[in-house]
Amino acid sequence: MSPHPIPESLADLEQFLAGDIKVKVAGIDVDGVLRGKFMSKEKFLSAASSDGFGFCSVVFGWDIHDAVYSRELMISNKQNGYRDLIASIDLSSYRRIPWENNVPFFLVSFLDPDTKEPLVVDPRGILKIATERAGKHSLQCYAGVEYEKKFTDLQPLTPGNHGYSLLRTQLNNDYFQALFDESAKFRIPIEGHHTETGPGVFETALAYTSALQMADNAILFKYLAKSIGMKHGVLPSFMAKPWGNLPGCSGHVHMSLRDDAGRNVFAVSEAERAKGRADAQYTDTKFISQECEWFLAGLLDGLADVMPMLVPTINGYKRLVGGAAFWAPNAITYGYDSRAASIRIISPPAVPPAATRLEVRVSGADMNPYFALSAILLLGLRGIEKKLPLPGPPLAELEGLEGGREKVRQLLAAIGFEEMLV
């Protein structure tokens, strides 16, 4: 039996909640903030047995500080009185909050009250639409997110840089351990959890899973980190660039596609595993499939156009300064196992074929994961659908060419975003 069973029917739900009197629910706004409330069990069960329950549309009509937008949206405005949306309960999101007396928790998706269709600005709804488009190609999207974040009590929580340090974590051991342990109880499996370069900076790699589940886990991990932090007197910041003279906090996204048989579509075939693809134009792409190369080309072709979905804040752009000292790309580039590129190819021989994937290193820790995953997936699918060619060589070959920086500039100009190179 799964350590985290989920209700699959209303009868299951009633059994799961037999000993409870209340339930906590939440949806996600455009800033990636959880907006929710407690409900009585009776009210919740009634909503679960119907289309859902009413939720004020103002959550899509104001900013992160709850200031109403000066230019109002059609879905949420004074004229319609900030009417209710329909909050549709996702039973598969069930979990219990261990640090809140084990109260049951569910995520909701927002529907248009007139059409009952996914709301056009609902982050979960947008990602569902993106994954459904992949499904039309008999593909399932899998993803992983790595969060860097700064823990502070208004002074850096730990001294020095010291990435991967085994000593720094002991300075606040209770909090560091609680993050991992409470995540497991909260249905957020973690693959890696360590210190990163920078005072008080830590990185957590969330376990690879389906795209929607990953976005849910990513948004809920922030909630967990902040909730646990309050109990330990720690303020976790997911700001992309807290300090101008130090590396920023990233929100790297890993992604791959699987077919109906569960095979990684980005991996080369059995026949190509020894020497790679014979028709690969570059050494860096020899051990990714043609579909992966098209997906990569789609990302390179459209990355500039979706930057607001990957880097939604002014502060986020301050992180993209380039250079080895700051570990953030500032040009549209790609490369095999390259942490200097915008898109890192992770493939054999570095990993087994089944682990082949692409890592988008542009997004910061302040991203809305639903928007980021949607943008990356849809750009990649467009590349596959149009069979787009790569616009130029990988970063290592560009840097090795005479006038390499000019070659990078030409590549950026060719795809319409030369100003990314500073």
226-246: average pLDDT: 87
Asked if the model's pLDDT at residue 413 lies above 90, the reply is: no
395-416: average pLDDT: 58
> Nearest-CA neighbor of 188 among 242, 147, 224?
224
| Cβ-contact 211, 141 below 8 angstroms | yes
Extract the runs of DSSP E, i.e. beta strands, from 294-354. 334-336, 343-346
| pLDDT higher at 155 or 190 | 190
Give the pLDDT of residue 126: 96
DSSP states of 159-215: -S--TT-SSGGGGGHHHHHHHHHHHHHTT--EEEEEE-SSTTEEEEEEPPEEHHHHH
| Cβ-contact 41, 17 below 8 angstroms | yes
Q: Mapping DSSP to helix (H, G, I), strand (E, B) and coil, where does residue 301 land? A: helix
| pLDDT higher at 346 or 1 | 346
Supply the mean pLDDT for the chain.
Answer: 88
Asked if the model's pLDDT at residue 421 lies above 50, the reply is: no
What is the domain partition of the chain in residue ranges? 10-121, 139-420
Q: Mapping DSSP to helix (H, G, I), strand (E, B) and coil, where does residue 324 land? A: coil
Entry pTM: 0.89
Rounded percentage of the chain residues whose pLDDT exceeds 90: 68
Give the pLDDT of residue 2: 61
Return the C-alpha torsion angle 278, 279, 284, 288, nearest 10. -80
Asked if the model's pLDDT at residue 326 lies above 80, the reply is: no
DSSP designation for 303: G
| pLDDT higher at 139 or 193 | 139
422: which 2 tokens? Answer: 């500073």
Asked if the model's pLDDT at residue 352 lies above 70, the reply is: yes
| Cβ-contact 371, 309 below 8 angstroms | yes
Q: Give the C-alpha separation, 347 to 70, whole Å.
A: 47
R_g of the chain, CA atoms, integer Å? 22
> Alpha carbon 122 to chain centroid distance?
15
pLDDT category at 415 given cuts 50, 70, 90 is: very low
Asked if the model's pLDDT at residue 353 lies above 80, the reply is: yes
Give the pLDDT of residue 195: 78
Q: Give the C-alpha separation, 250 to 253, whole Å.
A: 9
**Tell me: the pLDDT tens digits for 219-231?**
999 999 999 988 8
> CA-CA distances (angstroms) from residue 351 to 194, 267, 338?
21, 11, 14
**Tell me: the pLDDT tens digits for 30-68?**
999 999 999 999 999 999 999 999 999 999 998 888 988
Between 3.50.50.60, 3.40.50.150, 3.40.50.720, 3.10.20.70, what CATH number should domain 10-121 receive? 3.10.20.70
Domain 139-420 has CATH 3.30.590.10: yes
Give the pLDDT of residue 295: 99
Q: CA end-to-end span of the chain, whole Å?
A: 54
Residue that is written with structure tokens 């953030």 in the block: 328
CA angle, 140 as apex, 135 and 142 as ends, to 5°? 150
Give the pLDDT of residue 409: 54
Of 144-148, 245-249, 312-316, minimum mean pLDDT range: 245-249
Asked if the model's pLDDT at residue 159 lies above 60, the reply is: no
Side-by-side strand order, sheet with 84-97: 34-40, 22-28, 103-111, 84-97, 53-56
Mutual orientation of helices 369-386 and 123-135 as an angle, nearest 10°? 30
Contacts of 349 (CB under 8 A, 6+ apart): 287
Q: Give the C-alpha separation, 192 to 163, whole Å.
A: 13
pLDDT category at 156 given cuts 50, 70, 90 is: low
Give the pLDDT of residue 256: 99
Give the pLDDT of residue 53: 97
> Alpha carbon 10 to chain centroid distance?
30
Contacts of 165 (CB under 8 A, 6+ apart): 195
Q: Do 10-121 and 139-420 share a fold?
A: no
pLDDT category at 165 given cuts 50, 70, 90 is: very low
What are the φ/ψ torsions at residue 86 (nearest 5 degrees)?
A: -100, 125
Asked if the model's pLDDT at residue 380 lies above 70, the reply is: yes
pLDDT category at 323 given cuts 50, 70, 90 is: low
Give the pLDDT of residue 327: 75
> Alpha carbon 43 to chain centroid distance?
32
Give the pLDDT of residue 164: 36
217: which 2 tokens? Answer: 């886990």
Q: Mapping DSSP to helix (H, G, I), strand (E, B) and coil, where does residue 381 land? A: helix
